[in-house]
């Protein structure tokens, strides 16, 4: 519409439709996520946000901003925009104590993304492959419903309430903006407008660069654009010179960067392999397992059961071969068949091809060769969009064709929005506090090591229930028998419990040596002994030799390093129940420092802690030796 020109009836109807969708998204998302906005920090929030001194910005200065921006080590590019956003949250909130400003910022970013998804869906609806399929009213319905379902889908929850996943949603914001610019430029090419290439290039280059400032998976933006090009557009509608320029455009901005990246990985294999240093699975096992995980993700997108959704999915078994488990082979074959179908029949079935390729491209980094943890729901933030958009279009098209009644479509939209909204609202309620979140996770994923670890900590911190914590740690040992962290956790917890019972018995005037103190509810596998009035609870699975063996022979994982650091802090603080463990803790650190199956950053932390522990014991020569030991001198 030109300035000074009155809106036509059609334009006014469109403006009303846009406003209705936008206001509805804002209202529904605030309502759905409100129960969890005061919830706790979890997992990676601490090492990436609350424990980073540079993020605790107290005044806005040039040096402070620069230090905050480059303070993050979770990605090779430092993710400066995401780090800066956390620092600004801290500055305006006056600290980290109140999680509400951090989570509210995440909601605002998600709202912006949802509005952008709406306009992206509108542009997709006007692509050559889809423009003739539905009328203008139905196109608005599809775009509005697809954006709302994507925004309210319960699988998006961890991108919003798990504070550190702002990195993912902020990166997605620039990716979506880049795609809108790309499609807008592509539409100009259809009209033979010369500015088309400039707009397409700006969308891809600027969107990618800004997105990389939040998270590295923004590098997939050119591939997302290429998926749109090869499925929903037709180059034969362009004249020959433009077609040639378009081919050169995609060659330079899509194929060349992909080839360079693959070439870099081929010539620098350690870039991939070093990420497996702290994992209990190999490259081949991860690739085979991810085939099953992708189908699992797809099932969560299409049937978002709140009982299957959650913060952790480390209870998924590893695929050690194509036939172990037997579902691996059909999973791999199914993905290969789907990809082949999409590539070969993309002209005949453009929408299906778009959904398949979009989903696979979206997972091509985090669900492929890199040694990340096996599964997380937040990885579906953008990949889910292709599936949801295609499913929405198909259903609306079917209802329009079979009923011809827009009220039926509206009724369906209201029902499905209510279902998705209620699912997210109920899940958000489980994030209201640390204990409720832990209880939800472990109830729905009882075989998850991480869920049991979270529940153990919540039982101690929120309920002071050591017996429940012991049970959760024993479940963790059963679920992850090669994880030293659980066994050290159990030693620490039992040491604390032993001191508490010893003190209680002494205060009562009874003699602990006459009869071992049995505690109601304590698992039978926990044994008790007493000597000289000192009561000791112990478990054979967490004895010193077992822990030493695991620290020597198994990878030093995130859980193990966290537990070692907690033990270090406890010993250095001279906490009463940690004093008997001081010698063991030092020895565990020494063994862990010699383990080559760990990352350099973990190794540096272990060496630093080892030096301090030696110093506390009075062995300054060994302390200095640990300080001067370099990571690259380890025997490999």
Helices (H) and strands (E) in the chain, counts: 27, 2
Q: What is the pLDDT of residues 40-76, one digit of tens each?
A: 999 889 889 998 999 999 999 999 999 999 998 888 8
Q: 634 falls in which pLDDT band (50, 70, 90)? A: very low
Predicted confidence at residue 512, as pLDDT, reads 55
Q: For 275, what's the count of Cα atoms within 13 Å in the CB-facing half-sphere?
A: 18
- Can you name the residues that pair with 534 across neighbouring β-strands? 531
Q: Computed over its alpha carbons, how large is the radius of gyration of the chain? A: 28
pLDDT at 368 over 90: yes
Q: Which long-range contacts (CB under 8 A, 24 or more apart) does 397-402 make?
A: 397/133, 397/134, 397/138, 400/134, 400/138
Report in angstroms the alpha-carbon separations of 235 from 160, 183, 187, 239. 39, 14, 12, 8
Which residues, in sequence order, are bridge partners of residue 537? 528
Looking at residue 567, its pLDDT comes to 92
Supply 533's token pair: 């009035």
Least trusted range by pLDDT, from 70-79, 112-121, 231-240, 510-519: 510-519
Distance of CA 258 to the CA centre of its chain: 24
pLDDT class for 367, splitting at 50, 70, 90?
very high
Res 275 pLDDT > 50: yes
- Tell me the C-alpha to C-alpha distance, in Å, between residue 304 and each of 125, 155, 270, 399: 25, 7, 37, 22
**Other Cβ atoms closer than 10 A to 3:** 4
CA distance 458 to 441: 11
Mean pLDDT of the chain: 90
| Among 455, 433, 434, CA closest to 444 | 455
> Which among 116, 211, 120, 156 has a CA at the least distance from the CA of 32?
156
User: Residue 549: what pLDDT?
Assistant: 93
Q: What percent of the chain has pLDDT over 70?
A: 96
Residue 318 near residue 199 (C-beta atoms within 8 A): no
pLDDT value, residue 216: 94
Q: What pLDDT is stored for residue 513 in this prediction?
A: 56
Q: Which residues contact 26 (CB under 8 A, 6 or more apart)?
A: 111
pLDDT tens digits for range 585-632: 999 999 999 998 888 888 888 999 999 999 888 888 888 887 776 444
Residue 521 C-alpha from the chain's centroid = 36
Tell me the torsion sign for CA atoms 454, 455, 456, 457.
positive
Q: Is 241 exposed, middle or buried (0-12, 13-18, 19+ CB in 10 A)?
A: exposed
Which of 178-182, 186-190, 269-273, 550-554 has the highest mean predicted lDDT (pLDDT)? Answer: 178-182
**Of 367, 371, 365, nearest in space to 278 by CA:** 371
Q: How far apart are CA 217 and CA 355, in angstroms?
A: 19
How many beta carbons lie within 10 A of that of residue 250, not counting itself? 19
Show the domains of the chain with their CATH numbers. Answer: 34-428 (no CATH), 446-542 (no CATH), 543-636 (1.25.40)
> In this model, does residue 173 exceed pLDDT 50?
yes
Query: How do residues 475-533 score in pLDDT, each as one tens digit?
Result: 999 999 999 999 999 999 998 888 888 887 777 766 655 566 667 788 888 888 887 77
């Amino acid at each position: 519409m030109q300035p000074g020109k009155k809106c036509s009836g059609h334009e006014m109807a469109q403006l009303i439709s846009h406003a209705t969708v936008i206001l509805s998204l804002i209202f529904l998302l605030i309502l759905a996520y409100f129960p969890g906005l005061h919830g706790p920090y979890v997992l990676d929030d601490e090492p990436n946000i609350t424990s980073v001194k540079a993020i605790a910005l107290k005044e806005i200065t040039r040096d402070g901003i620069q230090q905050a921006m480059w303070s993050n080590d979770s990605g090779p590019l430092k993710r400066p925009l995401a780090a800066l956003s956390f620092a600004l949250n801290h500055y305006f909130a006056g600290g980290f104590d109140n999680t509400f400003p951090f989570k509210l910022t995440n909601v605002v970013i998600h709202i912006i993304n949802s509005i952008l998804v709406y306009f992206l869906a509108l542009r997709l609806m006007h692509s050559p492959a889809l423009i003739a399929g539905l009328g203008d009213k139905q196109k608005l319905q599809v775009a509005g419903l697809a954006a709302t379902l994507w925004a309210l889908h319960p699988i998006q929850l961890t991108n919003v309430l798990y504070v550190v996943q702002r990195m993912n949603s902020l990166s997605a914001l620039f990716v979506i903006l880049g795609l809108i610019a790309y499609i807008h430029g592509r539409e100009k090419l259809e009209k033979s407008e010369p500015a088309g290439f400039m707009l397409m290039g700006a969308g891809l280059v600027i969107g990618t660069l800004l997105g990389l400032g939040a998270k590295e998976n923004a590098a997939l933006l050119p591939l997302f654009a290429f998926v749109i090009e090869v499925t929903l557009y037709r180059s034969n509608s362009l004249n020959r010179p433009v077609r040639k320029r378009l081919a050169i455009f995609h060659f330079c901005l899509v194929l060349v960067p992909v080839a360079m990246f693959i070439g870099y990985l081929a010539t620098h294999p350690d870039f991939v392999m070093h990420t497996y240093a702290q994992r209990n699975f190999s490259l081949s096992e991860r690739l085979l397992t991810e085939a099953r995980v992708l189908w699992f993700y797809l099932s969560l997108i299409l049937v978002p059961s709140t009982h299957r959704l959650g913060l952790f999915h480390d209870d998924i078994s590893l695929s050690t071969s194509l036939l172990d488990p037997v579902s691996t082979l059909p999973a791999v074959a199914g993905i290969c068949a789907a990809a082949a179908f999409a590539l070969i029949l993309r002209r005949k079935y453009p929408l299906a091809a778009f959904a398949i390729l979009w989903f696979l491209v979206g997972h091509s980094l985090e669900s492929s060769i890199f040694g990340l943890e096996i599964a997380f729901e937040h990885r579906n933030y953008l990949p889910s969009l292709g599936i949801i958009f295609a499913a929405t279009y198909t259903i609306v098209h079917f209802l329009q064709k079979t009923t011809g009644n827009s009220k039926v479509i509206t009724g369906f939209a209201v029902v499905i929005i209510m279902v998705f909204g209620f699912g997210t609202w109920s899940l958000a309620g489980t994030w209201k506090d640390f204990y409720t979140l832990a209880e939800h996770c472990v109830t729905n994923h009882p075989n998850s090591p991480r869920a049991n670890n979270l529940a153990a900590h919540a039982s101690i911190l929120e309920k002071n229930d050591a017996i429940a914590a012991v049970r959760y740690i024993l479940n963790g040992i059963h679920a992850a028998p090669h994880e030293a962290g659980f066994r050290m956790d159990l030693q620490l917890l039992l040491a604390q419990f032993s001191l508490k019972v010893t003190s209680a018995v002494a205060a009562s005037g009874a003699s602990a040596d006459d009869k071992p103190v049995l505690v109601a509810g304590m698992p039978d596998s926990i044994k008790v002994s007493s000597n000289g009035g000192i009561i000791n609870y112990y478990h054979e699975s967490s004895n010193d030799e077992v822990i030493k063996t695991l620290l020597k022979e198994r990878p030093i994982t995130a859980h193990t390093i966290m537990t070692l650091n907690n033990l270090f802090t406890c010993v250095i603080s001279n906490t009463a129940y940690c004093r008997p463990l001081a010698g063991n803790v030092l020895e565990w650190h020494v063994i862990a420092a010699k383990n080559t199956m760990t990352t350099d950053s973990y190794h540096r932390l272990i060496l630093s802690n080892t030096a301090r522990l030696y110093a506390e014991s009075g062995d300054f020569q060994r302390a200095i030796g640990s300080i001067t030991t370099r990571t690259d001198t380890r025997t490999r």
